[in-house]
Every structure is written in C-alpha cells, then in structure tokens.
Amino acid sequence: MSCRLCGDKGVLRIRYHDATPDDYGVCLCPRGLRLRASLDALSAALGVPAAQLGVVEALLEAHEIPANLLGPVAGHADIADAGRAAGGKKARL
C-alpha cells in the first residue's frame, strides 16, 4: 500500500462529526486520478448519490491530506479555497 489516504483504492469514505451524510472523496493518488475521468460513472458504480461524491481536496482540509499527494494537482491554498466553497464542513476520516 503506497497511498496513506485511501489505501490505494482511489476513493475514501468521509464521515462527519454531525449528522451530515457521509461523503466519498476521490483521491489524488494515481488510482484516484484515473477514477476522476468520470465521476458520474463512478457514482453509479459505487451506488453513491452524485452529490456525495467529490474530489478530496474539496472535502478535506489541507492538513488532512498527506503532503506527498499535494503537488502540481493542488496546493494548500487551492484546498483551503475549495473547503470554504464547500461550506467548511468538518470531517473525520
């Protein structure tokens, strides 16, 4: 296993502290990047509503994503901006 965030699955479940339904984040690792090509198809394959599936950088805070996954794809400022745009939900992994 090389991805500490998703365990090389490409997708991880994000559970919130409040009663908010779980979200599913598509990782920044190589497998996750391949899955990003069609989030609608992935949503259907996982049986997850499209509204609950997104990219991890929009669902998690920068300190929750291992630094080795942050590179040219997303930086800390981009992730912080995405988090604010997502309503600032707090997640637990």
Which ranges of the chain does DSSP label H, i.e. alpha helix? Answer: 30-35, 39-46, 56-59, 76-85
User: Would you state the pLDDT for residue 70?
Assistant: 62
27 — phi, psi (to 5°)? -70, 170
What's the pLDDT at 19? 84
Q: What is the pLDDT of residues 38-72, one digit of tens each?
A: 999 999 999 999 999 999 999 888 888 877 676 54
Is-above-0.75 flag for pTM? no
- The pLDDT assigned to 16 comes to 86
